[in-house]
Amino acid sequence: MVTSALRAAECLLNDWPIEQGKKLSVAREALLSCLERKLSPGAARVAFIEAAKEAGNYVDEPQRLPPAGKAKKSHRARRRLS
């Protein structure tokens, strides 16, 4: 189980089942940029998941709940009654 950008980078560099791949290269760059605070963790996570799929690794992507807080109201125009 991978729970951090650091652990993901370690996996990609040391324990990955393939040595080359386009998505693997992108994920390595993304995770290193994330660790340098130049890229968001979310973007790095997406790159890691794509690299895992490319390598044939199982990826459990749990459904994420929407952010808590007030629901935004729709700004649809209301029909006027005459």
- pLDDT given for residue 69 in this prediction: 65
Q: Is the pTM of this model over 0.75?
A: no
49 is a domain residue: yes
Q: Tokens 């490319």 belong to which residue? A: 54
- Does position 1 have pLDDT exceeding 90, yes or no? no
- Domains contained in the chain, number: 1
Total residue length of the chain: 82
Q: Which two tokens stand for residue 53?
A: 């799929």
Q: Where does residue 23 fall: left (phi above 0), alpha (psi -120 to 50 degrees), or beta otherwise?
A: alpha
Domain assignment present for residue 68? The answer is no
Domain residue limits at 34: 5-54
Quick one: pLDDT at residue 57? 86
Dist CA 71 CA 78 (whole Å): 19
Would residue 30 count as lying in a domain? yes
Report the percentage of the chain scoring pLDDT > 70.
Answer: 73
Q: What is the mean pLDDT of residues 48-73?
A: 77
pLDDT exceeds 90 at position 53? yes
65 belongs to a structural domain: no
Let me know if residue 21 belongs to a domain. yes
For residue 27, is it within any domain? yes
Task: Let me know if residue 42 belongs to a domain.
Answer: yes
Distance from the Cα of residue 69 to its chain's centroid: 23
In a domain, 37, yes or no: yes
